[in-house]
Amino acid sequence: MIDVDTATAAHYRQLVSQLQQHNHRYYVLDDPSVPDAEYDRLMHELCALEARYADLVDADSPSQRVGGMALAEFNQVAHTRPMLSLDNAFDAAELQEFGRRVNERLARRDSVAYACEPKLDGVAISLLYRHGILDRAATRGDGAVGEDITENARTIRSIPLRLQGDSVPKLLEVRGEVYMPRDGFDRFNAAAIAGGEKTFVNPRNAAAGSLRQLDPKITAARPLQMCAYGVGEIDAQWQPPTHLEMLQYLGALGFMINPHVHLAVDIDDCEQYYRDLAIQRPALPYDIDGIVYKVNDLEFQRRLGTVRRSPRWAIARKFPAEEEMTQLIAVEFQVGRTGAITPVARLQPVFVGGVTVSNATLHNADEIARLDARVGDMVIVRRAGDVIPQIAKVMVEKRPVDAVPVKFPDCCPVCHSPVEQLTGEVVARCTGGMFCSAQIKQAIKHYASRRAMDIDGLGDRLVEQLVDAKRIHSVVDLYNLDVSQLLPLERMAAKSATNLLVAIENSKQTSLAKFLFALGIREVGEGSAQILANSFGSLEALIDASPEALLEIDGIGPIVARHIGNFFSNPDALAIVSALQESGVIWPNEAVDQRAEQPLHGQTWVLTGSLQIMSRAEAKDALLGLGAKVAGSVSAKTSQLVAGPGAGSKLRKAESLDIPTMDEQQFIEFLQVQRNF
């Protein structure tokens, strides 16, 4: 054993303190204060000291977050104060009734203020601190008795091992929610699929499964977070008088506090918060399943007390469920414009995510095999926000004896051409090309869509009629239609036919970016099309571009470049492009040297949050049209951030980097100014 001198011990404590501060800023505040390389250097120095002087190692050292020895089982923990469950309000009327009861029991006629918090969809946890040091962590269990998960909790970097500040209580029990952010959940499942391992159904299951690992090293490898929402016990000289002030106090001690907490002046304001948060919900970086309303005054809470196992001073208002169980009735296979064969699950209709769902995507053959989905199975359907419903899990234990395995087709279900799957691709495709009516229909629908050539009145049903009746065989034939060809079609009157022909004629005046997007080149979306138009200025220059020239463009990778080259080297594709131009489709060519005059040329913008007046796609198009590059993350190179409701980590990072920000209204006013120049 090597003795530790005073200077070394002091230096060690300084390193521990520095790293704790860096961890707090990185994992709790999302505002890193040093580069990763500097953090790694400090951690390496700390570990070297601990390896040399074993007696130095403190329980709150950042090095202790990697996880200790695996446990044989979890020990039971009795909560000194029960972890109560909440009653639910399922609609506005029940929330109003809750408010009426609160006022009645408090004998108050004036308004009662409420603390409103997003109800994180995770796992409740109790953290006990003695003299500022984490002593024990436990699950909620049955509310009275939970499981000791201290070693696992220590690995979660947003849980402080030592409390911060000068006013640390002698005893503090903090209640919070452990959850897995959406991006971490997606990365974890992607890695599991790549490794042939089991995936989690949703972030809540992922958090629960990760927190109850007997081996803490497994928990340490999972992207978990903990957000504090209350206090069970506290022994301190001063205590905050309200719930929101208590949360602020916990934040000062080093805990993560949800940034969307809100003080409602009365029960009506609680309902407005519900509506506002429902709009922001899809843009949040984590799952929530509702809102928790708590009487803000802590003295009022004590007077209201509890009944059975629920507090009289709090209630949860649930959002529509994002997951439900239903039956897989059939699997059909659809053919896209590039020939991609997509399996679609036909379901017994079920209300989930605020809508009735009867169809869900199964993505591809690999996904069917991974799920082991069979017709007749009971399945978990997930729909979050505007995301396309998908089957998250098959309930194998409920499988009927007559369930039928799903066979991926060898031939196209529409034109019966062979189906092929190229090496390195997960998507199987019909080889029928323009002989396949399904691909023709999808190509025409895409060409006519609002974000492409914007042919108003040419809907999906009409496209299908035109192709089935052999009025059109490609997008070129749209420009040869006349009234006599349209009138025999179902629900087509003379005025409708005339309006459609006017819309087709108007579509001839477009932009190069919209035309490129409308052509349906594989992997070329609206953003890529705008980048290509900005970079080459003319269609002729793009057609003549070498693979090397394409790869020099920021935002165009090797896969996109290959698809662009394949498209413009295909004689049939070039014939269609030429025929469209001969039909009168035209756009102004943009000289390359004029692009530097675009007001946002050379700037990088980032969009975050939930835009409410205009869509994210419309905002991106507007920026691209002004010459900006639109990125998905904030960095030191970001020129401007547009932050809508629900903006979180990107906004905080932009503020830490002193990057200019504007809200949606300011952004719209900015665009109006630019358009008037």
In a domain, 76, yes or no: no
Is the predicted pLDDT of residue 476 greater than 70, yes or no? yes
Q: What is the pLDDT of residue 315?
A: 94
At 642-655, the pLDDT tens digits run 988 767 778 888 88
DSSP state of 400: -
At 160-174, the pLDDT tens digits run 999 988 889 999 999
Question: Which residue did the predictor score with more confidence, 95 or 433?
Answer: 95
Q: Are residues 140 and 173 in the same domain?
A: yes
Contacts of 454 (CB under 8 A, 6+ apart): 448, 507, 514
Is the predicted pLDDT of residue 509 greater than 70, yes or no? yes
Question: Which residue did the predictor score with more confidence, 158 or 600?
Answer: 158
What is the three-class DSSP state of 271? helix
Return the exposure string of 208-229: e unless at least 16 CB atoms fall within 10 Å of the residue's CB, then b: bbbbebeebeebbebbbbbbbb
Domain of 471, CATH number, reads: 1.10.150.20
Residue 141 Rama label (left phi>0; alpha psi -120 to 50; beta): left
Provide the number of structural domains found in the chain.
6
What residues form DSSP beta bridges with 275?
none
Joined tokens for residue 168? 């640390």
Is the predicted pLDDT of residue 76 greater than 70, yes or no? yes
In a domain, 425, yes or no: no
Q: Residue with structure tokens 């198009």?
A: 621
Is the predicted pLDDT of residue 98 greater than 90, yes or no? yes
What pLDDT band is residue 669 in, cutting at 50, 70 and 90? confident
DSSP state of 594: G
Is the predicted pLDDT of residue 677 greater than 70, yes or no? no
Say if residues 375 and 330 touch (Cβ distance below 8 Å): yes
In a domain, 82, yes or no: no
Q: Are residues 299 and 235 in the same domain?
A: yes
What is the three-class DSSP state of 350? strand
Q: Are residues 153 and 175 in the same domain?
A: yes
Q: Are residues 166 and 269 in the same domain?
A: yes
Beta strand 390-394 pairing with 378-382: antiparallel
Which one of 119, 294, 445, 653 is the catalytic residue? 119
Q: Are residues 577 and 627 in the same domain?
A: no
In a domain, 81, yes or no: no
**Residue among 539, 538, 542 nearest 560 (CA):** 542
Is the predicted pLDDT of residue 27 greater than 90, yes or no? no
What is the three-class DSSP state of 225? strand
Say if residues 322 and 353 touch (Cβ distance below 8 Å): yes
Residue 479 is part of which domain span? Answer: 436-506
What is the percent of the chain with per-residue pLDDT over 90, rounded to a whole number? 36
Q: What is the pLDDT of residue 193?
A: 81
Say if residues 445 and 465 touch (Cβ distance below 8 Å): no
Domain of 671, CATH number, reads: 3.40.50.10190
**Residue among 523, 519, 626, 524 nearest 581 (CA):** 519
Q: What is the pLDDT of residue 243?
A: 95
Give the range among 260-269, 276-285, 387-396, 615-624 with minimum mean pLDDT: 615-624
What pLDDT band is residue 411 in, cutting at 50, 70 and 90? very high
In a domain, 465, yes or no: yes
Sign of CA dihedral 366, 370, 376, 380: negative
Which one of 471, 487, 506 terminates a domain? Answer: 506
The length of the chain in residues reads 677
Q: Are residues 585 and 618 in the same domain?
A: no
In a domain, 1, yes or no: no
% helix / strand / coil in the chain, to the nearest 5? 40, 20, 40
User: What Cα–Cα distance (Å) separates residue 578 from each residue in 532, 575, 604?
Assistant: 19, 5, 35
What pLDDT band is residue 30 in, cutting at 50, 70 and 90? low
Q: Are residues 192 and 312 in the same domain?
A: yes
Give the range among 192-201, 204-213, 521-530, 533-542 with minimum mean pLDDT: 192-201
Task: Work out the average pLDDT over 372-381.
Answer: 92
Q: Are residues 627 and 479 in the same domain?
A: no
Joined tokens for residue 640? 């401007």
What pLDDT band is residue 280 in, cutting at 50, 70 and 90? confident
At 550-609, the pLDDT tens digits run 888 877 888 888 889 888 988 888 889 999 999 999 998 755 444 556 788 778 888 887
Q: Are residues 265 and 152 in the same domain?
A: yes
Give the range among 123-132, 190-199, 356-365 with minimum mean pLDDT: 190-199
- What is the maximum span of the chain, computed from C-alpha positions, in angstroms? 99
Tell me how far apart the alpha carbons of residues 212 and 155 are, in angstroms, rounded to a whole number. 12
Sign of CA dihedral 195, 198, 201, 207: negative
Sign of CA dihedral 103, 109, 113, 117: positive
Q: What is the pLDDT of residue 336?
A: 87
At 218-255, the pLDDT tens digits run 888 889 999 999 999 998 888 899 999 999 999 999 99
Question: Which residue did the predictor score with more confidence, 57 or 296?
Answer: 296
At 305-344, the pLDDT tens digits run 987 678 999 999 988 777 888 999 999 999 988 888 999 9
Tell me how far apart the alpha carbons of residues 273 and 257 are, in angstroms, rounded to a whole number. 18
Q: Are residues 271 and 229 in the same domain?
A: yes
Domain of 45, CATH number, reads: 1.10.287.610
Q: What is the pLDDT of residue 593?
A: 44
At 398-409, the pLDDT tens digits run 899 999 999 999
Q: Are residues 289 and 347 in the same domain?
A: no
Domain of 386, CATH number, reads: 2.40.50.140
Tell me how far apart the alpha carbons of residues 447 and 488 are, in angstroms, rounded to a whole number. 23
Contacts of 618 (CB under 8 A, 6+ apart): none
Task: Indicate the average pLDDT of the chain.
Answer: 85
Domain of 98, CATH number, reads: 3.30.470.30
Q: What is the pLDDT of residue 255?
A: 94
Tell me how far apart the alpha carbons of residues 35 and 65 are, in angstroms, rounded to a whole number. 20
Which one of 396, 420, 444 terminates a domain? Answer: 420
Q: Residue with structure tokens 């809100």?
A: 262
Q: Are residues 226 and 314 in the same domain?
A: yes
Tell me how far apart the alpha carbons of residues 557 and 24 are, in angstroms, rounded to a whole number. 37
Which one of 352, 386, 420 terminates a domain? Answer: 420
Q: Is 514 a catalytic residue?
A: no
- DSSP-assigned states of every residue in 499-545: HHHHHHHHTTB--HHHHHHHTT-TT--HHHHHHHHHHHSSHHHHHT-
**Residue among 367, 353, 357 nearest 329 (CA):** 357
Is the predicted pLDDT of residue 33 greater than 70, yes or no? no
User: What Cα–Cα distance (Å) separates residue 42 from each residue in 22, 51, 247, 250, 432?
Assistant: 10, 14, 31, 27, 60
Across 336-454, the runs of DSSP E, i.e. the strands, are 341-352, 355-361, 374-375, 378-382, 390-394, 404-405, 419-420, 429-430
In a domain, 530, yes or no: yes
In a domain, 428, yes or no: no
